[in-house]
Amino acid sequence: MYDFQYHRPKSVADAVAALKKAADGKLIAGGQTLLPTLKMRLAQPTDLVDLSGVPELRGIKVEGNAVVIGAMAKHAEVSASAEVQKAIPALAMLASEIGDAQVRNMGTLGGSIANSDPAADYPAAIVGLNATIKTNERTIAADDFFKGIFTTALKEGEVIISVSFPVPEKAAYMKFDNPASRFAMVGVFVAKLAGGVRVAVTGAGPSVFRVKAMEEALAKDFSGKAVENIKVPTTGLNSDIHGSAEYRAHLVTVMAKRAADAAK
């Protein structure tokens, strides 16, 4: 790890100010992605701005027909939250399946989606539930947020404040683990929302994507049967030592089917 300046602001405004002042500053949330990167000397920020002392970024609350979760909410907090378990059990379940206990006790919602790992779990829920991401500058719709492998719509110095998840009629997340990392090799989030059905896939491609054919089929008949024969094209899907694009494409169908049947 290279040396850096450490800041622990008490407000979002101070955090933004600290970032602005730094030559090459970086926010740090749970550090579960950033710290290994620093330890392996793959990044050399001049300043780290630690968000753990900012109260505005914490908390989970129900607002109308949505659950609003602070960017600094840890995976363990989301999975254990009575509000989330009641309103969107699929989201609590998703959070409980991220990494291991240590990672869940440190890693955060904001850090996960800002990082936009192609195999991360949260992006499937964000897009699957048509969530809205609130930053210090604006709100961003789920479909506009993830831009590709490790890239998002966030601008330099933009801080995620919270994410608002609409409460669905029913939803489920089915994750097929990468055997080594246990990130998602394929994760499928299906949800029946007031505005229609959504099917969001993580792990299979460079970034989360929706499967329109499955959404249409489920809109007519929300059951596993409705999607079991819908195949996604393999073009553009990830292929590595853990699984070919064909395998991942196949798993999308299997996981979508299982998610549709499990949704509640």
Partner 1 sequence: MSEQGIGKRVVRKEDQRFLTGKGHYTDDLQRIRQTHAYFLRSPHAHAKIARIDTKAAQSAPGVVAVFTGADTAAAKVGSLICGWVVKDKHGEPHKAPPHPALAVDTVRHVGDTVAMVIAETEAQAKDAAEKIVVDYQELPAVINPAKALDKGAAQLHAEAPGNLCYDWELGDRAAVDAAFAKAAHVTKIDLVNNRLIPNAMEPRAAAAEYDAGSGQYTLWTTSQNPHVTRLVLSAFVLGIPEHKLRVIAPDVGGGFGSKIFIYAEETLLTWASAKVNRPIKWTAERNESFVSDAHGRDHVTHAELAMDKDGKFLALKVDTIANMGAYLSTFATAVPTYLYGTLLAGQYTTPAIHVNVRSVFTNTAPVDAYRGAGRPEATFVLERIVEQAAREMKIDKAELRRRNFIATDAYPYQTPVALAYDSGNYAGALKKALEMADYDGFEKRRADSKAKGKLRGIGLSAYIEACGLAPSAVVGSLGAGVGQWESAQVRFNPTGNVQVYTGSHSHGQGHETTFAQLVSTQLGVPLDQVEVIHGDTASVPFGMGTYGSRSLAVGGSAIVKACDKIIAKGKKIAAHMLEASAADIEFKNGVFSIAGTDKQVPLGGVVFSAYVPHNYPLNEVEPGMDENAFYDPANFTYPAGVHICEIEIDPDTGVSTIAKFTAVDDFGNLVNPMIVEGQVHGGIGQGIGQALLEHGVYDEKSGQLLTGSYMDYTMPRADDLPSFDVGYQVTPCPHNPLGVKGCGEAGAIAAPAAVMNAIHDALAPVGVKSIDMPATSSRVWQAIQRANTKMAAE
Ligand X SMILES: Cc1cc2nc3c(=O)[nH]c(=O)nc-3n(C[C@H](O)[C@H](O)[C@H](O)COP(=O)(O)OP(=O)(O)OC[C@H]3O[C@@H](n4cnc5c(N)ncnc54)[C@H](O)[C@@H]3O)c2cc1C
Interface residue list for partner 1 (CB under 8 A) = 1, 40-41, 176, 179-181, 241-244, 246-247, 250-251, 254
Query: Which of ligand X, partner 1, none has residue 103 at its interface (CB below 5 to 8 Å by kind)?
Result: ligand X
Q: What does the per-residue mask of binding to ligand X show for 99-128, with x meaning CB under 6 A?
A: x---x--xxx-xxx-xx-x--xxx------
Beta carbon of residue 145, minimum distance to ligand X (angstroms, whole number): 11
Query: Is the separation of the CB atoms in 104 and 144 below 8 Å?
Result: no
State whether residue 201 is helix, strand or coil: strand
Minimum distance from residue 148 beta carbon to partner 1 (Å): 20
- Locate 45 and state its tokens: 């920020």
Considering only CA atoms, give the Rg of the chain.
18
* Per-residue CA distances from 198 to 52, 88, 175, 195 (Å): 33, 15, 16, 9
Distance CA 31, CA 27 (A): 9
Six-digit token pair at 142?
């789920």
The minimum distance between CB 226 and ligand X, in angstroms, equals: 28
**3-class DSSP string for 13-49:** HHHHHHHHHCCCEEEECCCCCHHHHHHCCCCCCCEEE
Q: Is 253 in the site for ligand X (CB under 6 A)?
A: no
146 binds ligand X, rule: CB under 6 A: no
Retrieve residue 54's tokens: 């900012």
State yes or no: residue 160 binds ligand X (CB under 6 A).
yes
168-227 residues near ligand X, rule: CB under 6 A: 182-183
Closer by beta carbon to partner 1, 85 or else 244: 244
98 binds ligand X (CB under 6 A): yes
Report the C-alpha gap between 13 and 29 in whole angstroms.
Answer: 16
- Least Å distance, CB 3 to partner 1, is 8
In the complex with partner 1, the residue whose CB is nearer, 22 or 252, is 252
Q: Quick one: tokens of 103? A: 């990672």
Residues that bind ligand X (CB under 6 A): 26-34, 51, 71, 98-99, 103, 106-108, 110-112, 114-115, 117, 120-122, 154, 159-160, 182-183
